[in-house]
Amino acid sequence: MRYIPLSEQDKQQMLERCGVTDINALFCHAPQHTLDPAYNLPNHMGELEVERHLVSLANKNKDFAHNTSFLGAGCYRHHIPATVDMVIQRSEFLTAYTPYQPEIAQGTLMALFEFQSYISTLTGQPVANASMYDGATAMAEAALMAQRVTKRSNIVYDTDIHPDYKAVLKTYLSHIDGEFTESASPAETVNEQTAAYIVQWPNFKGDIADLNKLKSTCQQQGALLIVVVTEIVALGILPAPNQADIVVGEAQSIGNAMSYGGPHLGFFACQESMVRQMPGRLCGQTTDADGRTSYVLTLNTREQHIRRAKATSNICTNQGLCALAFTVHMSLLGEQGFKQLAQINHQNACHLADALTSLNGVQVLNTTFFNEFVVRLPFSAPKLVADLANEGILAGYALNDTDLLVCATEMTTNEDMHHLVQAIRIEIEGK
């Protein structure tokens, strides 16, 4: 086996030092009848065979490199500069672990500090942690933190939140006392028992709410405002959501591939007053024995390895390498590049919206949007998705029988848009 270096001679010498002659003597505490059962599995394969097998599986998928796509809905295709993958494949980043020994992990730590700084400044929140599993779990953790901070148990959340995020919230809170109310009219539903109101921004259908109004509704009742961002590129064009008490979401768009839904990059940012209630890892700046600026994991007493049952969360391993990918990509973009990227996304989405509304009977339902919006079709949206998939066009995400959620990014070309418009035109004219 190419990954296991021990030779027969090594093994003999080592067994000898252990004072045994047979490897199974080291498994003497296991019930002996359970040792070496039969497995209905193949034997090992060479690199070539493994590669052949996996390439054949990969080739059965219709990927975005060879097909046209308008899918978004919380997972976005953006261009990833070559530098990003070069950096995250650096052995010293890829094969390190949680930086528990800061003297030999300054690379990971400084990158996490930069990550936290970027998330903080993008979200307009003073503090951010070093990542969560994904946007959906970050939102659930935000609700749990709101309950701890306010000592209230009810959560109200907007209707137009990503369905997976709502589902995960429900699962995480299923055993907790308190009411979980879905409501598009917080002025009526948020009250003095509400821990937090959650709104996605832009929402699942692409619309962009006025956070000032929501802020004052929450403030009047002493509830926290949680803003969820599933497309972080939007923060290059929208003003920072600093009306929020907590901003969480998904940052996959920057530096991370779609990878069939994971690994992505949850982020978590909030007001400084809540920092000791935050879940997850935090990296802080300090000095070493020679007085040099250094970085270290800090405020560990919130975490499971110290606080155990009373920890703010059970999260341990998070999305370190995805956070690094984000940090590299965001560093390349910088102030100007990130804003331009957002503007190009928006401009392309505007063009797509115009092209689609030029079709007879097709209507854009949004009054506002960033790079994603809903079109109402004069025929079945799920059928369109299924039919066009066969032609190499992933048309979008069907919300119901007539409505299609479509997305344009910097990857979307005029030709792509033309393809979609033509395909829909044929469907319409065929009727």
Contact residues for ligand PLP (CB under 6 A)?
A: 316-317
CB of 308 vs ligand PLP, minimal distance in Å: 12
**Counting contacts by CB under 8 A, is residue 394 touching other proteins?**
yes
Q: Which residue, among 207, 195, 181, has the nearest Cα to 142 in the 3D structure?
A: 195
- Inter-residue contact 195 to 152 (CB < 8 Å): yes
Cβ atoms of residues 127 and 278 within 8 Å: yes
The widest CA-to-CA distance across the chain, in whole angstroms, is: 84
Q: Is residue 400 involved in binding other proteins (CB under 8 A)?
A: no
Cβ-based nearer residue to ligand PLP, 140 or 146: 140
Is there binding between residue 21 and other proteins (CB under 8 A)? Answer: no
> Which of 260, 290, 331 lies closest to 113 in space, CA to CA?
331
CA–CA dist 136, 134 (Å, integer): 6
Prior bond to 81 cis, omega within 30?
no
Place of tokens 């009742």: 221
Residue number with CB closer to other proteins (156 or 228): 228
User: Binding of other proteins at residue 105 (CB under 8 A)?
Assistant: yes
Q: Which is nearer to other proteins, 102 or 378 (CB)?
A: 102
From residue 240, alpha-carbon distances to 232, 296, 373, 409 in Å are 11, 28, 21, 21
Q: Which position among 155, 322, 399, 408 is part of the footprint of other proteins (CB under 8 A)?
A: 322
- Does residue number 237 form part of the binding site for other proteins (CB under 8 A)? yes
Please choose, out of 89-97, 183-191, 218-226, 415-423, the segment that lies near other proteins by the rule CB under 8 A.
89-97
For 140-202, give the DSSP string: HHHHHHHHHHHT--EEEE-SSS-HHHHHHHHHHHTTSSS-EEE-S-HHHH--TTEEEEEEESS
**356 near other proteins, judged by CB under 8 A:** no
288 binds, among ligand PLP, other proteins, none (CB under 5 to 8 A by kind): other proteins
Between the CA atoms of 240, 241, 243 and 246, what dihedral angle is there, to the nearest 10 degrees? -130
Options 153-161, 213-221, 338-346, 423-431: segment touching other proteins (CB under 8 A): 338-346
- Helices 106-123 and 320-357 cross at an angle (nearest 10°) of 30
What is the Cα–Cα distance from 69 to 392, expressed in whole angstroms? 8
Nearer to other proteins, 92 or 192 (CB): 92
Cis check: omega of the bond before 202, within 30 degrees of 0:
yes
DSSP 8-state symbol, 322: H
Phi, psi of 324 (to 5 degrees): -65, -45
Asked if 14 interacts with other proteins (CB under 8 A), we say yes
Number of residues that bind other proteins (CB under 8 A): 207
> Rounded to whole angstroms, how far apart are CA atoms 342 and 150?
35
Pattern 255-294, other proteins, x by CB under 8 A: --xxxxxxxx----------x-----xxxxxxxxxx-xxx
Nearer CB in complex with ligand PLP: 320/396: 320
Pick the binder of other proteins from 111, 190, 246, 247 (CB under 8 A): 111
The span from the CA of 153 to the CA of 92, in Å, is 44
Q: By C-alpha distance, which of 151, 149, 221 is closest to 183?
A: 221
Kindly indicate which of the ranges 39-47, 148-156, 189-197, 415-423 contains the residues binding other proteins, using the contact rule CB under 8 A: 39-47
251 binds, among other proteins, ligand PLP, none (CB under 5 to 8 A by kind): none
CB of 100 to other proteins, least distance (A): 8
Does 58 sit near other proteins (CB under 8 A)? yes
- Of positions 185, 220, 343, 357, contacts other proteins by CB under 8 A: 343
Under the binding rule (CB under 8 A), the answer on residue 92 touching other proteins is yes
Name the nearest CA neighbour of 266 among 207, 195, 315, 335: 315
Residues 412-431 that bind other proteins (CB under 8 A): none
Residue with Cβ nearer other proteins (85 or 188): 85
Token pair listed for 364: 């854009």
Is 93 an interacting residue with respect to other proteins (CB under 8 A)? yes
Note whether 407 and 369 are within 8 A (CB). Answer: no
Q: Which CB atom, from 112 or from 221, has the smaller least distance to other proteins? A: 112
Three-state DSSP class for residue 106: helix
| Residue number with CB closer to other proteins (415 or 429) | 415
51 touches, from other proteins, ligand PLP, none (C-beta below 5 to 8 Å by class) = other proteins
Min CB(172)–other proteins separation in Å: 8
Residue from 8, 151, 309, 429 that binds other proteins (CB under 8 A)? 309
Q: Report residue 124 CA to chain centroid gap.
A: 19
128 makes contact with other proteins (CB under 8 A): yes
Please give the span between the terminal C-alpha atoms of the chain, in angstroms, as a whole number. 61
Beta carbon nearer to ligand PLP, 316 or 386: 316
